[in-house]
Chain A
Amino acid sequence: MTEVTELSRPEGEALDTKEVLLNLGPQHPSTHGVLRLVLELDGEYVARVDPHIGYLHRGTEKLAESFTYTQIFPLTDRLDYLCPPSNNLAFALAVEKLLGIEAPIRAQYIRVLMAELARISGHLLITGALPLDLGAMTALLYAMREREMIMDLLEMISGARMHTSFCRVGGVREDLPDGFFPKIREFCDIFPNRIRDYERLVENNRVFLKRTQGIGVITAEDGIDLGLSGPNLRASGVDWDIRRDEPYEIYDRLDFNVITRNEGDCYARWQCRVEEMRESVRIIEQCLEQMPEGPFQIDMPTIAFPVDKDKVHCSMEALIQHFDLSAYGFKVPKGEVYSAIEAPKGELGFYIISDGSAKPFRMKVRSPSFVNLQGLFGTSNAHYLADMIAVLGSLDPVMAEVDK
């Protein structure tokens, strides 16, 4: 503590400044969850940022080692809770590769359809939340209205609004319900116009533009070096989408564009997501057109529950198999697999080592948000404290996925 305050300084001597530590979060609305940033401030400029994560760490990977493969699906739901169907899909694909099986075509269409619905739902939140963080509240309210339609559709398919757990190894849990097609067609008709509404709410909002355009620029080299993926990297001009470059499921049958922007700023990241929603609607429409009739689950009683329950009721072997599968799960051959999909946030990879038992020996989740959050270190011109909020919002981390 200084007792004497000097009012005037000797001429020619610079002001005595010192850096201030500011704690942002973990309970702060603009940190999108329980993220804590320790900011070193030089006046109003951010000199250094140190994210502290782990407030939501639930030990998903450790838990998975004591669960059977089917039991892990609900755990994956809780990674990126805005778009659980994508997480389910990523995990199912990894296990299917180890087993050397493929889901029936209809199941693949259903999964892709749900994953794209989830992508829209995840992107809708950030479409509204970034303007909200920067003071434009209206967009979020409209975005939530459309998100409700998606929630209704997901509820119709699976019975759950958020944690759907609808994928199974070798297919999906059930077939699509009656009356689903008209509902989703209605959504596909309405939604593209609504996207235009969000854009119109924001594109003439001078405050929003001033606070996002040219702010938080991440160059393509920095983005790759920092491991960014998904829309965050595409906004920096890197044309990479796992759906197109390493097609999984039936994405090679679908026609869609990969959205890129060259600016690499907060606005470009926001725009990329809005454009991607349009592409997702196109993908959903194609899925609806192309979806064939057929089984929704693989016909392997050792891996998937039989669709025809009569067998279980009449045959001893089928009953034993059914009991075995529900009580002990199925065994997965020894081996290891890394399987990545294009989740809404970026590359979502599951690395599974199997020791031949019914539980994974090691399951590693390469969660996109965890890596994308490192983008905070790559922004070249986010100088002000207020810019930090814009950068954080535009990187779109979901803390449940960051902390696993």
Chain B
Amino acid sequence: MSVETPLNLILITEHFGNAIDDLGFAHGVHAFAAPPQMIVELCRFLKEHPALRFNFLSDICGVDHYPEVPRYEAVYHLYSLPNKWRVRIKCRLGDPPRVPTVTGVWRTANWHEREAWDMYGIRFEGHPDLRRIYMWEGFEGFPQRKDFPLRGYKDELNPFGAEGPPPTRPDLATKNIP
């Protein structure tokens, strides 16, 4: 809910300058927008700065803004256990979506990133084990994208699905992940 002490924004804005945007405070969470190449540096800074100490990664969430451009977004929710602050980092991604992994900063990012890959096809570069997590290996397409039909595509196991084969995208094939 409400924060006890306001987050010291100067620390962050001084360090990063114009590279990140301040999206303001709403509903107990302060939001920032950052470009994908800054994510790891920003996360590490927020985690390790002695006055901030955002040591707990709550969540990583993929978003599909179809048909907007840039289409995808990775949203990070951080929590500072000592200070009881929450921060949201929003990171817009192009198509195909690529963003560096933050598994080096928090180990918990591992499964969150696998989930975002599985559901949205966001490729987290440098992730140690980027496999599908909910869907089975060999599943085609990314089910939570806005252009993926709610009932899936029609095949022998799914007679109520939408007509047409799932769009195959060789650049996003699930196999041969770097």
Contact = CB atoms under 8 A, between A and B. Distances in A.
Contacts of B106: 225, 227
Contacts of A340: 58
Interface in A330-345: 335-340
A3 B39 CA distance: 56
Interface size classification for chain A: 35 or more
B116 to A, nearest CB: 10
B135 A248 contact: no
Nearest to A94: B27
Interface stretch (A14-22, A57-65, A303-311): A57-65
B146 to A, nearest CB: 8
B44 interface: no
A246 B58 contact: no
Contact of A246 (B28, B57, B119, B132): B28
Interface in B62-83: 63-64, 75, 77, 81
Interface in A229-250: 238, 240, 245-248
B143 A339 contact: no
B77 A338 contact: yes
Interface string B97-130: 0000000001110111001000100000000000
Contact of A371 (B63, B111, B136): B111
A244 to B, nearest CB: 10
B55 A224 contact: yes
A366 to B, nearest CB: 4
A97 B27 contact: yes
A226 B107 contact: yes
B104 to A, nearest CB: 11
20 contacts: A54-B135, A61-B144, A62-B143, A62-B150, A66-B150, A225-B107, A226-B107, A226-B108, A246-B28, A337-B26, A338-B77, A339-B27, A351-B75, A362-B64, A366-B58, A366-B59, A366-B77, A371-B111, A373-B111, A374-B108
Interface of B: 1, 26-29, 55-59, 61, 63-64, 75, 77, 81, 84, 86, 88, 106-108, 110-112, 115, 119, 132-136, 143-144, 150
